[in-house]
């Protein structure tokens, strides 16, 4: 019998209950016991959903209050001393690592958080010491949650991040020089102990995630797989059977280190179906293949016919007992359930499948290959019908858009003049001081803003009333920026629910949802719009608000747009046309918006591309080059319609540009603002090495945490930056937008920032 397996389930709940509970806990409105109870209730509900869907292998320990990697950091005793020394309890210590802690005399910033592979999920980086030791906690979460499910009558397969991935994804703490992978021998006993405990608790299999196998690995990390899994194999029956799990890429280039003596190997056959044959020939003689055929990263209904074909071809080689049908990755990256979408057009809704629906798909596919297609004939027929409907619908195809795309020329991608010419005509207009200060765009999205938006959606206030409210907010934001003494203002984005969704709702070719939230980091969720067809802009999207902002402000006002690549990456993209085509359509729509903003008197326009890097194919080579080529072109196409005197900014939420700096430089943006407060200022060296001529604003403080940086901390940061950047190049800004912050900390932090900038202005 072919079993069905889910690799992980979204944690938030159908109505983002987990978000609400954790935020209430942080705000002192929910007790710790209540939070933990709610988490428990959600886990149970999610296991039950999968069980009812007919899934055979249900995951446990896929849950996390903040992030699954962070849970491992804590359970392995790898918590840096700064979080343990103040005697916080385990839960608060965990959240302190995730989001910083500044309360009752404790003041500690969070650990670094970075993108999980090429997804928009962020994990907390294991941050290790030269003299690092590991020790398994008394009640490891994996064991506790396995037992919790067992007590509820649900047998689960615990999920662990594997040791090689845990270390490879980690880093040395500031001031430390350890190469994390060198800690393997110290870490493995902890895994062994944990696996033994899981076995004793009754787990027969464990999903051990080693997704780093899809990377181009340095020799040391690659070499770590063999000894690790041989060591586990020697424990024989003392530990559960291991399913060695990879996703988000192919593992063909690393097959020489694929363990032969594990019980199972999971591969992603949605992303890389072509790896099947090579992996099949590299499997150990008894190893089971877990075939990831239902997409854990997108919302399209699975094409059952082609999924079944993939599984059948594995079965032909291995037999039914050695194949498992699975989701390609954890379903963490998909929304909870399509059932919550009451407003979606029926035609379109029929093309989608979210986590709950995917669980059913997995079970149906397993049944189809076990008992034959007639056993699920009705489901297969309905599925074929939706596939047919989407392929032939007029909603997916707009001839006007295609016509315009065919006319794009090379010249459309370039600004009129070189940077040197541009910056002098910009400076004439803007008259900015040395070390100009600005922010990245959004200001706190207060309760009041959200309440007004909800009222508008519910029809409790009119559009005119809402617009007036937004104007007041903008006016207030301008006033605050005047008081703070910032140099380039923003309108604060109060009208935007989200930087991509907002645009999606104003573009043709998009569908949007009401409940399709996906976790981005911690309690933060995003609701990506869905690209269903060819994209175009029926009307200006941001001009009204920016124009109003200019009218009430004496300082230069930045217009704020989300770039084409980010719109694409943070939407659920189509899987029926190439992403480069979708990016170009978005770029053309944005180009019109940029030109309209310029016409409305906006002299500075920021086009954010924080998602550019996450789209980077995980391995270097042809695929990566092709991506960078079309991604850079899309950005340039969107920003090149303006005069020299209009200043184009772009923003990135990271500063690790090493492996694709040429692409960042090729964007030709007049000013780049980047994350830098949590990274090493050394990363700025690439700008020096390449004699980067344009302006740069490396973030001077972390905005993911409510913690207020002192003026001195910011000065220290600027001092470090000045080792790499010229004073006339340097802008002073925070790491990212401030929408998730409260006003109090925002004002305090920006005051310190402006004072630090003034200090340097006086000095130079
Ligand atoms: N302009 C956006 C903001 O300030 C940028 C957000 C981002 O880069 N993620 O919110
Ligand atoms: Zn950002």
Q: Which atom of ligand 1 is nearest to the CA of 652?
A: 8
What confidence tens digit (pLDDT) does each residue in 306-341 have?
A: 999 999 999 999 999 999 999 999 999 999 999 999
- Annotate 125-160 with DSSP letters as a single string: PPEE-TT------SS-HHHHHHHHHHHTT--EEEEE
CA-CA-CA-CA torsion sign (415, 421, 425, 428): positive
Q: Which of 49-58, 614-623, 648-657 shows the highest mean pLDDT?
A: 49-58
pLDDT at residue 679 tops 90: no
Q: Which atom of ligand 1 is nearest to the CA of 441?
A: 4
What are residue 108's DSSP bridge partners?
101
The tokens for 301 are 């209904």
Q: How far is the CA of 438 from the centre of ligand 1 (A)?
A: 13
User: Of the ligands numbered here, which is closest to the C-alpha atom of 609?
Assistant: 1
pLDDT at residue 497 tops 90: no
- Which residues neighbour ligand 2 (ion) by CB within 5 Å? 610, 653, 736
- Pairwise CA distance, residues 720 & 51, whole Å: 54
Task: State the average pLDDT for the chain.
Answer: 96
Confidence class for position 8, pLDDT limits 50, 70, 90: very high
- Pairwise CA distance, residues 621 & 638, whole Å: 26
Q: Which atom of ligand 1 is nearest to the CA of 499?
A: 2
* Residue 44, CB-side half-sphere exposure with 13 Å CA sphere: 12
Please say if 704 is a catalytic residue: yes
* 697 neighbors 733 (Cβ within 8 angstroms): yes
Could you tell me if the CB of 612 is within 6 A of ligand 1?
Answer: no
Q: How far is the CA of 632 from the centre of ligand 2 (A)?
A: 18
* 613 neighbors 656 (Cβ within 8 angstroms): yes
Could you tell me if the CB of 737 is within 6 A of ligand 1?
Answer: yes
Q: How far is the CA of 699 from the centre of ligand 1 (A)?
A: 12
What confidence tens digit (pLDDT) does each residue in 443-470 have?
A: 999 999 999 999 999 999 999 999 999 9
Could you tell me if the CB of 675 is within 6 A of ligand 1?
Answer: no
Q: Which atom of ligand 1 is nearest to the CA of 739?
A: 10
Confidence class for position 498, pLDDT limits 50, 70, 90: confident
Confidence class for position 21, pLDDT limits 50, 70, 90: very high
* 3-class state of residue 39 by DSSP: helix
Q: What is the model's pLDDT at position 680?
A: 83
For atom 10 of ligand 1, the residue with the nearest CA is: 737
pLDDT at residue 754 tops 90: yes
- Annotate 657-676 with DSSP letters as a single string: -GGGHHHHHHT--SEEEE--
- Pairwise CA distance, residues 125 & 704, whole Å: 15
Could you tell me if the CB of 367 is within 6 A of ligand 1?
Answer: no
As a whole number, mean pLDDT of residues 666-682 equals: 92
What confidence tens digit (pLDDT) does each residue in 408-444 have?
A: 999 999 999 999 999 999 999 999 999 999 999 999 9
With CA atoms as reference, report the closest residue to 529 among 496, 560, 493.
496
Do β-strands 127-128 and 122-124 pair in parallel, antiparallel, or remain unpaired? unpaired
**What percent of the chain is modeled with pLDDT above 70?**
100
User: Of the ligands numbered here, which is closest to the C-alpha atom of 699?
Assistant: 2
Q: Give the N- to C-terminal CA distance of the chain in Å, as an integer.
A: 74
The tokens for 573 are 């993209």
Could you tell me if the CB of 120 is within 6 A of ligand 1?
Answer: no
* 261 neighbors 283 (Cβ within 8 angstroms): no
- Annotate 350-408 with DSSP letters as a single string: TTB--HHHHHHHHHHHHHHHHH-GGGGHHHHHHHHHHHHHHHH-GGG--HHHHHHHHT-
pLDDT at residue 658 tops 90: no
pTM assigned to the model: 0.90
Q: What is the model's pLDDT at position 22?
A: 98
What confidence tens digit (pLDDT) does each residue in 225-275 have?
A: 999 999 999 999 999 999 999 999 999 999 999 999 999 999 999 999 999
pLDDT at residue 558 tops 90: yes
Could you tell me if the CB of 499 is within 6 A of ligand 1?
Answer: yes
- Pairwise CA distance, residues 392 & 764, whole Å: 64
Could you tell me if the CB of 560 is within 6 A of ligand 1?
Answer: yes
Q: How far is the CA of 738 from the centre of ligand 2 (A)?
A: 9
Q: How far is the CA of 113 from the centre of ligand 1 (A)?
A: 16
Q: Which atom of ligand 1 is nearest to the CA of 610?
A: 8
For atom 9 of ligand 1, the residue with the nearest CA is: 610
User: Of the ligands numbered here, which is closest to the C-alpha atom of 520?
Assistant: 1
- Pairwise CA distance, residues 706 & 123, whole Å: 19
Residue 442 backbone phi and psi in degrees, to 5: -90, 145
Q: How far is the CA of 520 from the centre of ligand 1 (A)?
A: 14
Could you tell me if the CB of 440 is within 6 A of ligand 1?
Answer: yes
Could you tell me if the CB of 525 is within 6 A of ligand 1?
Answer: no
Q: What is the model's pLDDT at position 654?
A: 85
The tokens for 467 are 């617009």
- Pairwise CA distance, residues 93 & 111, whole Å: 11
HEC string for 469-518:
HHHHHHHHHHHHHHHHCCCEEECECCCCCCCCHHHHCCCEEEECCCCCCE
For atom 3 of ligand 1, the residue with the nearest CA is: 737
The widest CA-to-CA distance across the chain, in whole angstroms, is 79
Q: What is the model's pLDDT at position 620?
A: 87
Q: Which atom of ligand 1 is nearest to the CA of 651?
A: 8
User: Of the ligands numbered here, which is closest to the C-alpha atom of 676?
Assistant: 2
């Amino acid at each position: 019998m072919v079993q069905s397996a889910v690799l992980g389930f979204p944690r938030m709940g159908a109505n983002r209950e987990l978000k609400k509970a954790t935020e209430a806990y942080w705000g002192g409105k929910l007790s710790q016991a209540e939070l933990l109870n709610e988490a428990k209730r959600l886990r149970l509900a999610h296991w039950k959903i999968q069980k009812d869907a007919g899934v055979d292998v249900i995951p446990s320990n896929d849950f996390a209050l903040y992030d699954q990697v962070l849970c491992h950091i804590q359970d392995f005793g790898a918590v840096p001393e700064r979080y343990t020394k103040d005697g916080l309890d385990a839960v608060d210590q965990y959240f302190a690592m995730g989001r910083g802690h500044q309360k009752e005399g404790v003041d500690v910033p969070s650990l670094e958080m970075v993108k999980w592979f090429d997804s928009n999920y962020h994990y907390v980086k294991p941050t290790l010491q030269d003299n690092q030791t590991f020790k398994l906690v008394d009640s490891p979460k994996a064991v506790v949650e396995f037992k919790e499910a067992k007590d509820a009558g649900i047998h689960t397969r615990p999920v662990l991040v594997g040791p090689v991935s845990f270390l490879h994804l980690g880093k040395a703490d500031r001031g430390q020089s350890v190469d994390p992978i060198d800690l393997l021998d110290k870490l493995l006993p902890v895994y062994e102990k944990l696996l033994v405990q899981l076995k004793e608790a009754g787990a027969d299999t464990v999903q051990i995630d080693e997704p780093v196998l899809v990377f181009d690995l340095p020799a040391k990390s690659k070499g770590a797989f063999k000894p690790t899994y041989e060591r586990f194999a020697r424990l024989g029956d003392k530990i559960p059977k291991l399913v060695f799990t990879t996703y988000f890429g192919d593992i063909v280039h690393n097959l020489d280190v694929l363990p032969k003596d594990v019980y199972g190997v999971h591969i992603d056959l949605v992303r890389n179906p072509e790896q099947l044959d090579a992996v099949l020939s590299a499997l150990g003689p008894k190893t089971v293949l877990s075939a990831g055929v239902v997409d854990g990263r997108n919302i399209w209904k699975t094409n059952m016919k082609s999924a079944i074909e993939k599984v059948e071809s594995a079965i032909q080689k291995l037999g039914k007992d050695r194949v498992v049908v699975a989701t390609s990755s954890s379903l963490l990256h998909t929304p909870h359930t399509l059932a919550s979408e009451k407003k979606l057009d029926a035609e379109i809704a029929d093309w989608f499948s979210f986590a709950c629906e995917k669980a059913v798909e997995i079970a149906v596919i397993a049944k189809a290959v076990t008992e034959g297609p007639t056993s699920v004939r009705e489901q297969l027929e309905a599925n074929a019908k939706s596939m047919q409907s989407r392929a032939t619908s007029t909603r997916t195809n707009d001839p006007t858009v295609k016509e315009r795309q065919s006319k794009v020329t090379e010249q459309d991608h370039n600004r009129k003049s070189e940077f040197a010419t541009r910056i002098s005509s910009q400076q004439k207009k803007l008259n900015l001081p040395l070390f100009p200060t600005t922010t990245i765009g959004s200001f706190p999205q207060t309760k009041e803003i959200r309440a007004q938006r909800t009222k508008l959606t519910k029809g409790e206030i009119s559009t005119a009333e809402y617009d007036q409210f937004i104007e007041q907010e903008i006016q207030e934001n301008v006033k605050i920026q005047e008081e703070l003494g910032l140099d380039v203002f923003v309108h604060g984005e109060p009208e935007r629910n989200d930087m991509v969704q907002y645009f999606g709702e104003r573009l043709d070719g998009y569908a949007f949802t009401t409940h399709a939230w996906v976790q981005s980091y911690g309690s933060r969720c995003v609701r990506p719009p869905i690209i269903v067809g060819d994209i175009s802009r029926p009307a200006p999207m941001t001009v009204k608000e920016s124009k109003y902002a200019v009218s009430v402000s004496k300082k230069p006002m930045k217009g704020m747009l989300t770039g084409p690549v980010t719109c694409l990456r943070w939407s659920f993209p189509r899987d029926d046309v190439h992403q480069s085509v979708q990016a170009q359509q978005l770029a053309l729509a944005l180009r019109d918006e940029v030109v309209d903003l310029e016409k409305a008197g906006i002299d500075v326009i920021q086009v954010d591309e924080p998602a550019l890097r996450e789209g980077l194919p995980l391995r270097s080579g042809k695929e990566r080059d092709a991506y960078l080529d079309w991604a850079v072109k899309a950005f340039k196409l969107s920003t090149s319609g303006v005069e020299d005197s209009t200043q184009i900014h772009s923003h990135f939420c990271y500063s690790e540009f090493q492996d694709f700096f040429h692409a960042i430089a090729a964007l030709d943006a007049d000013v780049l603002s980047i994350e830098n407060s949590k990274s090493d200022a050394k990363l700025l060296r690439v700008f020096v090495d390449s004699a980067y001529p344009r302006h740069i604003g490396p973030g001077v403080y972390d905005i993911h945490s409510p913690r207020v940086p002192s003026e001195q901390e910011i000065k220290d940061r600027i001092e470090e930056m000045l080792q790499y950047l010229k004073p006339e190049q340097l802008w002073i800004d925070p790491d990212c937008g401030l929408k998730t912050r409260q006003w109090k900390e925002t004002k305090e932090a920006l005051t310190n920032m402006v004072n630090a900038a003034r200090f340097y202005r006086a000095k130079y």
